[in-house]
Chain A
Amino acid sequence: MTDLDTRPTAVQFRFRDDEMADHGTVTFDACCEQTNATAVRIEPGDDARALLPFLDRLALIEVNFPVFGDGRGYSSARLLREAGYTGELRAVGDVGIDQLLNMRRCGFDAFAPAEPLDESDAQAAFNRWPNVYQNTADGRRMITQLRHD
């Protein structure tokens, strides 16, 4: 089986305090068949809901973005968080400055861009929006709620 192992050093931004999982990441198919895998990578066409029975044993789910214009990974991320997944959710692949915050809002808490990003541009992007119009996985309350506090 191909070991997809994303090197921990490839992770450029991480919003977690726990230790980074340091073990091989398997494919979606392998994960569904192999009962002891603890890290998996899913592709845009994989059905994230099929991972729900295994969430307890998974410490890392990588969601691959082969091209940034394919937005299926955003739905995968929210589905996993909505199902209660609390492990690391890592965006890998074609991840740019202008995708970071939307990914963060959908529940990603680690980012391994294929091309390293400018640190200060990235920090600006993560912090740009003081408020949001939607409730998603980042726990921020939406404007339509704040108005009625």
Chain B
Amino acid sequence: MYKYDNYDQQMVDTRVEEFRDQAKRRLEGKITEDQFKPLRLMNGLYLQLHAYMLRVAIPYGTLNGAQMHALADIADKYDRGYGHFTTRQNIQYNWIKLEEAGDLLADLAKVEMHAIQTSGNCIRNISSDHFAGAARDELVDPRPYAELLRQWSSFHPEFMYLPRKFKIAVIAAETDRAAMRLHDIGIQIVKNDSGEIGASFYVGGGMGRTPMIAPQIRDFVPLDQLVTYAEACLRVYNRYGRRDNKYKARIKILVHEMGAEEYTRQVEEEFAHMLGQGVEPPLAEIERLRPYFADPAFVDGPKTCDHSDPDFALWVDRNTNAHKHDSYVSAVISLKPVGGIPGDATAEQMHLMADLAKEYSFDELRVMHTQNIVLPHVAISDLHALWTKLEAAGLGSPNLDTIEDIIACPGLDYCSLANARSIPLAQKISERFAASGKTGELGQLKLKISGCINACGHHHAGHIGILGVDKKGVENYQLSLGGSEAEDVALAKITGRGFDEAGVINAVETVTDVYLGAREDGERFLDTYRRIGMTPFKEALYD
């Protein structure tokens, strides 16, 4: 994985000093809270319901054991012994004191980490495929390009005060594991007819209160023009994105209102101009970055393992992904124990995951946007030993991509924007299905819960989505069906009137029963929904 050179280290160290200086000037009254707020946000510090929350960037979701250990130490030293992995492959801490934030950032910098631009109206942390560099189906490893964009977007002087936040995802496989087309810019690394590698650009996707799927605006940008093209996309947005209404300020609204064709025309015009401005890093830089992401020293070994223990066999079946080396798999550590808080991990668990990464996965871990952790390169011969240790620590839940693998935002338990609680709902739904034993029978079923219309829990992209709203002071939940964040991207549709908490749990069970009754061979919930449509589900829910 990437390792900072002196330049990168100097940048994060300088940022720590700058933040300390900003906090000091705030305390001295030299800047107002209004002036300080965007500055602290650009260092990941939010004021939440009970305390400050700090979000740490995990660029493209990749980290090593030492970094995971440091995240655990931070949980112990500055928080209450746990952290929360997020849908943008980051981690956030919920109980931070403002006066300690500078020291926390300094601790991060010691392990080549930071909280730069994890909030604010700027370019956020770049996300990517959590199986990058390991997946059998990828064209190339997308992370060198993500790293190039990380550096370009860090402290970009023109784009620190955009109309709204800006999220970029980079993938390099036909299978989309990063919700690429639901980002402000989604980039897919592709090969053209001449066999050259380049980037396909999708612009103007997003969730939030007005979900949109990004249209493709350029099928192939040569690699030595990647940054320039991104810069052109950003400049058109910075100049013309709406600033009169924060709910209409994301680039998806600009692309929608202007029309993808006109937006593209303006980007192409800007791009043609910018090609002469020398904004592109030299191609040698991509060549420098690639070796950091080279394959570790894989060793040929057994390609299968003993499946006689049914619990182990189930975990292998559900929680591992095909690796490009046939003696290895990528193994998913579920942070969704039945009845647990999705994405939460204790400091102890983080230490253990770091140790296991060192022992079994070339010291590398990934954060998934579904709030789980990946050990990307595990030898098949080591799987049983790994699973045994995970089981002992309560980290062996065999539920990847099942109805228990719920994405949930922090909701009203933490968040100042939320209208309803998400976490207790996720806990109760996973308990219900674990108890009924239907989880396995239901197969792949992505359930996503947001506690308000800002959609941090990705409910628009859930096969089943739940949105919490406030109905005259009472929590109410709207159910939606048919969304997908993957390569078959789609936005979910609302079933009808909402439910109370107990009612929505029953409603989820009802729609899964409709699926089980109607499915044909090999169909996932989503496939059946697409074939039979909303009506049978509505009838079961409301008639």
- Total A-B residue pairs with C-beta atoms closer than 8 Å? 108
Instruction: Mark out the residues of chain A between 91 and 141 whose CB falls within 8 Å of any chain B CB in the assembled complex.
Output: 96-98, 101-103, 105-106, 118, 121, 124, 128-136
Q: Contact between B7 and A147 (Cβ–Cβ < 8 Å)?
A: yes
Interchain CA distance A131-B10 in the complex, whole Å: 8
Does A23 make an interface contact (CB < 8 A)? no
User: Chain A residues with Cβ under 8 A from B156's Cβ?
Assistant: 133-134
Does B298 make an interface contact (CB < 8 A)? no
User: Chain A residues with Cβ under 8 A from B239's Cβ?
Assistant: 72, 75-76
Does B243 make an interface contact (CB < 8 A)? yes
Q: Contact between B159 and A71 (Cβ–Cβ < 8 Å)?
A: yes
A-B contact pairs, 10 of them (CB 8 A): A70-B243, A102-B155, A103-B157, A128-B18, A129-B155, A131-B7, A135-B279, A136-B158, A148-B284, A148-B288
Given contacts A69-B121, A69-B161, contact A128 B273 (CB under 8 A): no
Give 1 or 0 for each of A3-42: 1 = CB within 8 Å of chain B CB.
0000000000000000000000000000000000000000
Q: Contact between B151 and A143 (Cβ–Cβ < 8 Å)?
A: yes
Does A78 make an interface contact (CB < 8 A)? yes
Q: Contact between B157 and A147 (Cβ–Cβ < 8 Å)?
A: no
Does A56 make an interface contact (CB < 8 A)? no
Chain A residues within CB distance 8 Å of chain B: 44, 68-72, 74-76, 78, 82, 96-98, 101-103, 105-106, 118, 121, 124, 128-136, 142-148
Instruction: Mark out the residues of chain B between 26 and 58 whose CB falls within 8 Å of any chain A CB in the assembled complex.
Output: 30-31, 35, 38-39
Given contacts A106-B158, A134-B157, contact A69 B279 (CB under 8 A): no
User: Chain B residues with Cβ under 8 A from A44's Cβ?
Assistant: 243
* Contact for A97 among B31, B38, B238, B278, CB less than 8 A: B31
Give 1 or 0 for each of B249-288: 1 = CB within 8 Å of chain A CB.
0000000000000000000000001100111011011001
- With A103-B157, A130-B14, A133-B151 given, name 13 new contacts (CB 8 A): A71-B121, A71-B161, A74-B157, A75-B239, A76-B239, A96-B31, A97-B31, A102-B155, A133-B154, A134-B156, A143-B8, A147-B288, A148-B285
Interchain CA distance A78-B239 in the complex, whole Å: 12
Q: Contact between B285 and A102 (Cβ–Cβ < 8 Å)?
A: no
User: Chain B residues with Cβ under 8 A from A136's Cβ?
Assistant: 157-158, 279
Interchain CA distance A69-B32 in the complex, whole Å: 14
User: Chain A residues with Cβ under 8 A from B22's Cβ?
Assistant: 98
User: Chain B residues with Cβ under 8 A from A76's Cβ?
Assistant: 239
Interchain CA distance A70-B160 in the complex, whole Å: 10
Given contacts A75-B235, A118-B30, A121-B25, contact A82 B277 (CB under 8 A): yes
Does B17 make an interface contact (CB < 8 A)? yes
Q: Contact between B17 and A128 (Cβ–Cβ < 8 Å)?
A: yes
Does B5 make an interface contact (CB < 8 A)? yes
Instruction: Mark out the residues of chain B between 149 and 170 whose CB falls within 8 Å of any chain A CB in the assembled complex.
Output: 151-152, 154-162
